[in-house]
Amino acid sequence: MKVEVEGTEKYGTDSYVELFNGILLDVGLTRMVEAVKFIIRPSDPLFLISIRTRKAAGLVMVSDIADVSGTEGGTMVTIRDETYAPTLISLLWHKYGRERIDQLTRLELFCKGISEKEISDLGLDPGEELKSKVLDAVWRLLPEGFKIRHNISSENVMTVVATEHDMKKEWIELAEKAHAEMGVG
């Protein structure tokens, strides 16, 4: 992982880099982050982080990770690859509502009134999950009191700039610049 740091205090910035490494290890993203840039100026106060991730694996179809069979009144789904189970269940809940998805056992679902084809054609996007994990890591890292935030997100780069009171235009420009540079590599 390429790390670039700009800051007014060496100890503080170094310890944030160490902290970020620890957080990545915690959320299991160590190999997914390609580069990161920090700009930390406590006297402004400004905290900027820009992260470039590796490309996530492509779309995974439900039929690739589960057995789908149509029965009377709906479709039975038996998940084969349990690593996708939480994502699939939350996708189904989100799309059809909890009342139509019965979780019979840990890996067995009954989808009321939904056709077999409709379920089989659903796709899970690991890229979204990766993004939410990266965002989780950033929230854990950001100083707690820096509630004024501006986010920029593109396919594989995410930049967050945070401050305590007013967000200045120049900081947003700085974030846009860092975001663009990170995208180029």
Partner 1 sequence: MYKVLMFDGGVYRVNELYELVEDLGGFVIQKTQIQVQIVVTLVVPEEDVPVIEKKTQELGGKLTDVPLAGTEIAVVAPTLGRHHMPHPVCDIAEHLRRYGAITVVMGLARGKGRQTAQISADEKATIEEYDAAVFVLGNFEDCILKEKIRLFENIEIPVTVVCGPDIKRVPSCEALVTGVCRKVERMRRAEEIAKLEETVAALGKIIEARRREIDEDPLFVHPAEVKQRIESLEAVQKSLRPAPIVLHLDGLRVKIPYEEWRDELASIDIFGYKLGDVTKISGARIGGSTLMKILTKSEVEAREARKSATAA
Rounded Cα distance between 4 and 49, Å, is: 10
Does 166 engage in binding with partner 1 (CB under 8 A)? Answer: no
Rounded to the nearest 10°, the torsion over CA 138, 141, 145, 147 is -10
CA quadruple 80, 81, 83, 86: dihedral positive or negative?
negative
Nearer to partner 1, 27 or 104 (CB): 27
| Among the listed residues 8, 30, 71, 153, the single contact to partner 1 using CB under 8 A | 8
Nearer to partner 1, 114 or 160 (CB): 160
**Stretch of residues binding partner 1 (CB under 8 A), selected from 4-12, 55-63, 101-109, 149-157:** 4-12
Does 6 engage in binding with partner 1 (CB under 8 A)? Answer: no
Does 90 engage in binding with partner 1 (CB under 8 A)? Answer: no
Position 21, amino acid:
N
- How many helices (H) and strands (E) the chain has is answered by 6, 11
Does 165 engage in binding with partner 1 (CB under 8 A)? Answer: yes
Tokens of 6: 């700009």
DSSP SS3 for 141: helix
Query: What does the binding site for partner 1 look like in residue numbers (CB under 8 A)?
Result: 8-9, 11-12, 15-16, 19, 22-23, 25-26, 42-43, 45, 140, 142-147, 164-165
